[in-house]
Amino acid sequence: DGGITQSPKYLFRKEGQNVTLSCEQNLNHDAMYWYRQDPGQGLRLIYYSQIVNDFQKGDIAEGYSVSREKKESFPLTVTSAQKNPTAFYLCASSINRNTEAFFGQGTRLTVV
């Protein structure tokens, strides 16, 4: 089945630790995205990538980093510099930029 797989579903992190969220897609999509969702707010773009080895900052990139070494994979690292990392993180992909995006099932990160 084609789709987007995010792992883990739930993640707990101690303050001061970096943590990496996984996102894999087998849809052969060029573009991939990371969004953050907080209660009562729309999706906010963290980073996006339109092609392998290239990525761009979104609206709230501070405290996050990404890589795009393979077309299928777009991992997100939440660093200790992110002051309020507890949130629901969504990975998405699309054929190309600005077309409809398909989402994974999300990772809920909690800082303890």
- Chain residues binding other proteins by CB under 8 A are 4, 6, 31, 35, 40-43, 45, 48, 50, 56, 88, 90, 92, 97-106, 108
- Of 16 and 41, nearer to other proteins (C-beta) is 41
- Of 35 and 82, nearer to other proteins (C-beta) is 35
- Three-state helix/strand/coil letters over the chain: CCCEEEECCEEEECCCCCEEEEEEECCCCCEEEEEEECCCCCCEEEEEEEECCEEEECCCCCCEEECCCECCECCEEECCCCCCCCEEEEEEEECCCCCCCEECCCEEEEEC
Q: How far is the CB of 16 from other proteins (least distance, A)?
A: 27
Q: How far is the CB of 80 from other proteins (least distance, A)?
A: 26
- Of 85 and 104, nearer to other proteins (C-beta) is 104
- Give the residue carrying structure tokens 């993640």: 11
Q: How far is the CB of 97 from other proteins (least distance, A)?
A: 4
- Of 20 and 56, nearer to other proteins (C-beta) is 56
